[in-house]
Structure 1
Amino acid sequence: MSQMKVVIAGGTSGIGLATAALLAKENAAVTITGRNPQKMEEALATLPANVKGQCVDAVNTDHIKAFMAAHGAIDHLVIALSGAKGGGLFKELDLAQLQAGFAEKFFPQLQTLQAALPYLSANGSVTLITAVSGHAKAPGTSGLGAINGGLEIMVPILAKELQPLRINAVSPGVIDTPWWSFLPEEARSATFQQYAQAAPAGRVGKPEDIAAVIAQLIHNTFMTGQVVTVDGGLGL
């Protein structure tokens, strides 16, 4: 059996990095991308030799297209590109920041997928990483919900358009990743404790929790057009 070729866009930290580590253990040939050379160096230092890295600016369409052309054939694509802009109560929401949020996550995810299409195996898969803000209906998340909800609503449509290529998304709840670095450590700890008490699972998530579901979507060839929520039961 040939070695599975996986590209993880946004694989230098958090969920993307955990997914790279998990798939590398399965002996996949993994390539991670990210914009920051220092983060790339630090990420590769923690990963085995069957993981390669390439600095790619996912905001730049030409840069993405050039990377995909140089990489060539892809069996599975994981798009973990993210951003933190666009949160806050709507009456106070800076719409310029919301536009920046779309520019950081929504369009880079779609640009990456579109650029990868000529190189993806027809029997392969694409997994987008969204967030529960896309459907949780929580006050203060209308902007983030628009970004993630916009991606999620496209998933079943793309699954039909691009068949037999499988298109899914994983929608994480509160996960302890660098995404939360906008909060000071004490406030972040208090926030996590609050969510842990509210969740039936009794804790916030770890990147490895999401990586395990991504791997399942890669391997389960009967899963397509689905948005899988992984939130520790917080939305129940």
Structure 2
Amino acid sequence: MRVVIMGGTSGIGLATAEKLTAAVAEVIVTGRDAGKLAAVKDRVAAAEQVDGTDEQAVTGFFERTGAFDHLVLAFSPGALGLGPLASLGLADIRGAFDGKLFAYLHALQKAQVTGSVTMVSAATARAAAPGTVTFAAVNGATERIVPPLAAELAPVRVNAVAPGAVDTPWWSFVPEEAREGQFAAMSQDLPIKRVGKPGEVADAIAYLVGAEYVTGTVLPVDGGYTVA
């Protein structure tokens, strides 16, 4: 089994790379940060520096890679676009779309994938948290493209996972002490009473990669956030 994980050098993407590698998959990861790539290159089959927003770089990567079985898209522009809508510049909103939704779409245009595609969305697509309008727009759009893509790309299966609050480096813009307090406050409202771990989302991705009768589905992995 040959798997490409774009955005596979940190957080959920890296946890997925490690899980699938342990399952004896040939895993190729991409990322933008040379330091993170160097740290993971010996833990996967291959690691390439690719900026998902660079159309030429993405096209060249897929031309070199050729056909493969499964694609996992785990791009993240970080906290770009976080905050009340009135305080945001349009450049940040566009950047959030460029860094995730549009990067996903371009990768899907170029990837020679034969088995399945799994995209990482987020629970903000279906929530009502103030300050997350941009995230809701980007992730909502990501989730809405899953069913038509599943029909259009068949027999390639297309699914998504929608994590809630997960303790990953995404939160590094928040100081550690404040982050712990924020996680504790979030946990009070969750049925499972804690934030998630990257490996738990990786478990869901690995399930979708192997679930040969599942397509067109968005799988929440949020500790009950969207039903609380």
Structure-1-length-normalised TM-score: 0.93
1:98 — aligned with what? 93
> What is the RMSD computed on CA atoms of the aligned residues?
1.1
Structure 1 residue runs without a partner (length 5+) = none
What letter is aligned with 2:126? Answer: H
Q: Is the 8 A contact 2:41 2:47 kept in 1?
A: yes
Q: Does 1:64 align with 2:58?
A: yes
Matches within 5 A, 1:61-210: 61-83=55-77, 84-116=79-111, 119-121=112-114, 124-210=115-201
Separation in structure 1 between the aligned mates of residue 55 and residue 85 of structure 2, nearest angstrom = 30
Deviations 1:24-47 (A, max 9, x none): 0110000000011111011235x2
Q: Is the 8 A contact 1:30 1:51 kept in 2?
A: yes
Structure 1 residue 95 displacement after superposition: 2.1
1:55 — aligned with what? 49
Separation in structure 1 between the aligned mates of residue 178 and residue 187 of structure 2, nearest angstrom = 14
User: Runs of 4 or more off by more than 6 Å in structure 1?
Assistant: none
% identical aligned pairs = 46
Structure 1 residue 137 displacement after superposition: 2.3
1:7 — aligned with what? 4
Aligned length: 226
Q: Is the 8 A contact 1:10 1:34 kept in 2?
A: yes
Structure 1 residue 93 displacement after superposition: 2.4
